A and B are shown apart, each in its own frame.
Chain A
Amino acid sequence: MKDISYHTPDALLAAYAAGNLPHPYALVVAAHISLCVECRVSFEAHQAAGGVVLDSTEAVGVSDTLKTDIMALLDAPVISKPVHKRSGIYPGPVMEALNGKPPRWKSLGLGVRQSIIAGGADGNVRLLYIPPGQAVPDHSHNGLELTLVLQGSFSDETGCYGAGDLEVADQDLQHTPIADAGLPCICLAATDAPLRFTSLVPRMLQPLFRI
């Protein structure tokens, strides 16, 4: 894999380490850390800082039975949940969201496909499959949009993003990502609100496809 040029901004990493990033973003950041040594190290540095805060926290006495309760449970059998590991181009956190199964693609026309892998009140995460030369449907978004490239590459007004790169687009950015020549571009995209399409037809399709 070529070197990663676009990384997770430090504030997002700190919020992720502290557990205060909305779920859709947390999933994309976890996937980027899985692929990127630099961001893993920064993430671990934030964990270290969190540990320092924990260590400096004033102690509060615990009840007398807590320790004996816990000691008595050490040998109790544990049912451990299976962990879904990286598979092909999909990092562990993506496989986890897919429940270990391959993505179920839905066509958006012109060879573009998507698979929504997580969604809820705080936004959604989807995989996008874009054939070379195709554009992601013209869209704007209400809040922050994070896009992690898993295969191939795309280019837009802000640069060229290859495998492992993370594009961070705020709501002011009106961009048109186009997949580059070569392998179809597969990326993981998170928004904290439904996407708004700027052209009429996709806007009508929006409720249909949950995009």
Chain B
Amino acid sequence: MHVSLDIEPADRSSFLGLQKDVPKVTPPSPKISPQTLWMLAVRDQRDKAAFASLFDHFAPRLKGFIMRSGTGSGQAEEIVQDVMLTVWRKASQFDPARAQVSAWVYQIARNRQIDMIRKEGRPLPDELNENPETEPDASQIVALEQEAGHLKSALTKLAPDQREVIEKAYLGELTHQEISSQMGLPLGTIKSRIRLGLQRLRHELKDMR
């Protein structure tokens, strides 16, 4: 089965239009999602009320996500606790122009699930040294959230069996051989997202060296 999540070029023009709509004087832009605003408040102000809002949004989803792989309710809540505490403690590593909050939380959750199985834990790439002067502006954050939004609506429009393949892949239930034979590399798909990210990363790497 080959699944494609390609984003239509027509969709893409909409976020170019959006950038014009971002007010110049009032950062943060109202177009930025509440989750990202909460996460930034946690990162920059150590805001516990914002963290409580993040909990309300993510904890039940995380629990559902973890239980889908067959983990029982009690243990799933223990993992949710570890993940949410890591969100609080490692908030300084959150970069809204590189990852939407759910992507960042997803990665923490998968790391935690793997750490519980293996004593070595998962090998992680070197962190990029962020240059504080390249702090993203609101339009970059909005653009990235738009990409994630397009991907989400593409996912909901898939036939149920196709959607299941993608979900299984990201739940960590498919081997790389299965991904390569069943997904038909659908994720070469988030092509516009990749291009966006590339520009910014190239810029950062130039600053690093």
Contact = CB atoms under 8 A, between A and B. Distances in A.
Given A34-B126, A52-B155, A74 B51 contact: yes
Contact of A12 (B63, B73, B166, B176): B176
Interface stretch (B8-16, B17-25, B101-109): B101-109
A11 B177 contact: yes
Contacts of A49: 151, 166, 170, 187, 190
B176 A66 contact: no
Contact of B148 (A9, A52, A57): A52
A201 interface: no
B172 interface: yes
B190 to A, nearest CB: 4
- Give the most central of A21, A33, A62, A63: most B CB within 10 Å: A62
Contacts of A23: 118, 120, 123
A205 interface: no
Main SS class of interface, A: helix
B195 to A, nearest CB: 9
Contacts of A31: 123, 125
Interface residues of A, number: 62
B139 interface: no
Given A23-B120, A48-B99, A59-B64, A66 B59 contact: yes
B187 A45 contact: yes
Interface string A62-74: 1100110111011
A34 B68 contact: no
Interface in B116-161: 118, 120, 122-128, 147-148, 151-152, 155-156
B76 to A, nearest CB: 8
A85 B126 contact: yes
A16 to B, nearest CB: 8
Contacts of A129: none
B94 interface: no
Contacts of B120: 23, 118
Given A45-B187, A52-B151, A70-B84, A14 B176 contact: yes
A60 interface: yes
Tell me which of A14, A69, A86 has the highest count of chain B C-beta atoms within 10 A of its own C-beta: A14
B85 to A, nearest CB: 6
A55 B151 contact: no
Interface of B: 48, 51-52, 55-56, 59-65, 67-68, 73, 76-77, 80-81, 84-85, 88-89, 98-107, 109-111, 113-114, 118, 120, 122-128, 147-148, 151-152, 155-156, 166-167, 169-177, 179-180, 183, 185, 187-188, 190, 193-194, 197-198, 201-202, 205
9 contacts: A37-B202, A41-B197, A42-B194, A50-B170, A52-B103, A53-B170, A62-B80, A71-B48, A78-B89
The 9 closest A-B pairs by CB, nearest first: A51-B103, A59-B60, A51-B102, A11-B180, A15-B176, A92-B126, A30-B123, A33-B125, A93-B123
